[in-house]
Structure 1
Amino acid sequence: MGETTEPGEKRAYIASHNDIKLPVTVVNGAKSGPTLLLAAGTHGDEFPSMFALQRLAKALDASTINGTVIVLHLANLDGFHGRRLALNPKDEKNLNREFPGSPTGTATEQIADLLTREFISKIDFFVDMHSGSSNQKLLNHVYSPFVGDKKLDALTFDFAKATGMQHIVMYGDRPRDPANSVSFPNTAMTRGIPGLTTEIGHLAQRDEKSIEFAFDVTKNTMIFLSMLPGERAVHPKPVIYKDVKYIKSEHDGFFTPLKTIGDKVKPGTRLGTVTDYFGNIQQTITAPTHGTILMINETPPVKNGESPVAIGIVQK
């Protein structure tokens, strides 16, 4: 984006292109090594990683790290200031569904195009950092995508374990066409670059525990890449999920959860109820499979076809 950061230098600036503004910190290590992109704010109401990346950018010393860290503090600045759940108020689109974007498209499509051209094209590893929006309660987890390239998929899985997170979701549902990559991390994967998604924190909160955990995850990834000294932080008892089952509501109305994140369920377990606007039960949502609840809605509004519950299916 027309900005240069010399070896051994750290720069924080607003990178601008037409109407797009992106707060960026580049820490260009004095010693050679990989280039790591850490991004927050792809969805503007997911806050813990934003604060974690502020701390990391301030803590890193360019004279002592190996390689380069690009910190994208807020990928969706308009969504952040618009206080929007996942969407960009300029065009009502979800940035994480518009990649690789278009230079002549809508506002969100132009951001996706810029991130593809100016960020993804310059990196070796990527972590897109998310959390639960204001309606979602989440069990902290990391998505380890796979695209059918054995070497890349294995490296990505090692990268996911190196975050130190216990719950790892194997994820192969995204398109494998670079011209239709859809999401930010999948844009990296379809170009041969390991790209993770972390989910840390929930309910649009900014609690210290989640911020500190997200901060630790970023440092763990740097240790794995030999950018910082230290011991690798693989969780001693990782839980690997082979799939995530999203359970849909069949009605508009109020959702009331009967279980919470981390709960183990089996077929028939009652997960929540959907009532109409008068309080009459229209549906009892039950588990179709064994698994662990990874996400559940804590706020009442629900629409027909929405998924207020997600169950992780453990890989045996």
Structure 2
Amino acid sequence: MIQTKLIAPLLVLLCFSTLLNAQNKPFQFQQKAVRPGTKMSFSIPVTDGHNSTFIPVTVFNGKAPGKALGIVAGIHGFEYPPIVAAQQLAQSLDPAQMNGTLILVHMANVPAFLQRSVALNQMDGKNLNRSFPGKASGTITERMAYTIANQIIARCDYVIDAHSGEANNDLKPYAGYYNHTATPELSKKSRGFATALGFNYVIQFDNLPGVTEPSKYCSREAVVRGIPAADIECGRYGIAEPEMVNKVVTAYHNALNYLKITNGTLGKVTPLYVRNRTFINSNYDGFFYSRLKAGEFVKKGATLGYITNFFGNKIMDVQSPVDGIIMYMISTPPVNKTDELFSIGHLN
């Protein structure tokens, strides 16, 4: 009888302790505490003393503990599907039903978005996705990169960098990840994460021992920090096609489900892994013409298009040096010398 009286309170205490341990903690962000089961939006200011901007971020702190995922949309302000998808995701999530934390960057590059600039921030003429890890005392774009790297990426267990084809690009949707032989476990985690996003194609970037230069790219900055990361490329022509926006929304949800931040199920997709790509560049300024589209398969030696001078005279046939699939391509006539015309994924 005495033993029973002692055991019952101990069981209650044990259950209460387990319940407490299962509760999440407030997430400290921008000197504020986001309570478990709530969300909070922030406008992170960035200035170099001459130019100023901000980065709109929403933090979802789940009721229960779990992984921290960072989703960065709008590194390039003209790439609309991931940006619109981020807006839709923000409205659909209930933090009271989530585990862990989501740091959602609605738009990393507000100046480029408002300027309708394809790749560059016109405040300083720099490409944000060539500026990582950034500089605390650099130009406005370098400071934006530094802010994202240190205030967002550094807080995450996994990171997504979401892009699309710009105004001059036709693009086949795919996910990507960095494959470095010096960090096989990190590459394996990134591969699994990229695969879980649900695209039919997954591209391996780098295929090198490691990174020996500045990271340059948003997702590679995460990998340099030891954080598994995946890229999304989904959308084309610089327009927010509903089909492409929906694909990105689905990919965002797949990521959340994969990390068990939300409790949905993952769709089953067996992607084609593209280990290597060949990039075909222009040798001339002029006009580019092609009847092909992203996603088409091409044979080695096939004519992919041609370039004319400004009088309409053909000056170059563009031929494929490999068998493969067109992952993306220029889809508008203007072309500069050294411009990338095609990215051809090798078929292994």
Q: Return the offset for 1:146.
A: 1.5
Alpha carbons 1:175, 1:182 under 8 Å: kept: no
Match of 1:141 in 2: 174
Higher-helix-fraction structure = 2
Match of 1:7 in 2: 36
Structure 2: gaps (5+ residues): 1-29
Match of 2:123 in 1: 90
CA distance in 1: counterparts of 2:72 and 2:235, whole angstroms: 16
Q: Return the offset for 1:107.
A: 1.0
Q: Return the offset for 1:292.
A: 0.2
Alpha carbons 1:41, 1:76 under 8 Å: kept: yes
Alpha carbons 2:75, 2:108 under 8 Å: kept: yes
Corresponding residue to 1:154 among 188, 198, 207: 188
Match of 1:170 in 2: 204
Greater mean alpha carbon deviation, residues 273-282 or residues 15-24: 15-24
Q: Return the offset for 1:243.
A: 1.1
Q: Return the offset for 1:179.
A: 7.0
Offset from partner CA, 1:29-55 (integer Å, 9 cap, x none) = 010000001111100000011111111
User: Structure 2 vs 1, CA of residues 268 and 178 (structure 1 numbering), >3 Å: closer, same or farther?
Assistant: closer
Match of 2:61 in 1: 28
CA distance in 1: counterparts of 2:207 and 2:186, whole angstroms: 16
| Paired residues for 1:225-244 under 5 Å | 225-236=259-270, 238-244=271-277
Alpha carbons 1:32, 1:67 under 8 Å: kept: yes
Q: Return the offset for 1:159.
A: 0.5
Alpha carbons 1:138, 1:294 under 8 Å: kept: yes
Max radius of gyration: which structure?
A: 2
Alpha carbons 2:46, 2:144 under 8 Å: kept: no
- 2:218 is the alignment partner of 1:189: no
- 2:245 is the alignment partner of 1:211: yes
User: Structure 2 vs 1, CA of residues 178 and 233 (structure 1 numbering), >3 Å: closer, same or farther?
Assistant: farther
Match of 2:85 in 1: 52
For 1:54, the aligned partner's letter is: Q
Alpha carbons 2:175, 2:194 under 8 Å: kept: yes
Alpha carbons 1:178, 1:187 under 8 Å: kept: no
- 2:303 is the alignment partner of 1:270: yes
Under a length normalisation based on structure 1, what TM-score does the superposition of the two structures give?
A: 0.96
CA distance in 2: counterparts of 1:262 and 1:5, whole angstroms: 43
Q: Return the offset for 1:178.
A: 8.0
| Paired residues for 1:278-297 under 5 Å | 278-297=311-330
For 1:235, the aligned partner's letter is: V
User: Structure 2 vs 1, CA of residues 105 and 176 (structure 1 numbering), >3 Å: closer, same or farther?
Assistant: farther
Structure 1: gaps (5+ residues): none
User: Structure 2 vs 1, CA of residues 234 and 160 (structure 1 numbering), >3 Å: closer, same or farther?
Assistant: farther
Q: Return the offset for 1:173.
A: 5.8
For 2:244, the aligned partner's letter is: S
Q: Return the offset for 1:15.
A: 2.0
Match of 1:246 in 2: 279
Q: Return the offset for 1:117.
A: 1.0
Q: Return the offset for 1:106.
A: 1.0
For 2:189, the aligned partner's letter is: L
Alpha carbons 1:5, 1:28 under 8 Å: kept: yes
Alpha carbons 2:46, 2:140 under 8 Å: kept: no
For 1:168, the aligned partner's letter is: V
Alpha carbons 1:178, 1:190 under 8 Å: kept: no
SS in 2 for 1:188: helix
Q: Return the offset for 1:174.
A: 7.9
Say what the alpha-carbon RMSD is for the aligned residues.
Answer: 1.5
Q: Which runs of 4+ in 1 moved over 6 A?
A: none
User: Structure 2 vs 1, CA of residues 89 and 239 (structure 1 numbering), >3 Å: closer, same or farther?
Assistant: same
Match of 1:64 in 2: 97
For 1:56, the aligned partner's letter is: L
Greater mean alpha carbon deviation, residues 256-265 or residues 200-209: 256-265
Q: Return the offset for 1:248.
A: 0.9
CA distance in 1: counterparts of 2:94 and 2:111, whole angstroms: 30
CA distance in 1: counterparts of 2:31 and 2:43, whole angstroms: 11
For 1:45, the aligned partner's letter is: F
| Paired residues for 1:98-113 under 5 Å | 98-113=131-146
Alpha carbons 2:46, 2:143 under 8 Å: kept: no
Greater mean alpha carbon deviation, residues 141-150 or residues 16-25: 16-25
Q: Return the offset for 1:196.
A: 1.1
Under a length normalisation based on structure 2, what TM-score does the superposition of the two structures give?
A: 0.87
Q: Return the offset for 1:233.
A: 2.2
For 2:280, the aligned partner's letter is: I
Alpha carbons 2:133, 2:146 under 8 Å: kept: yes
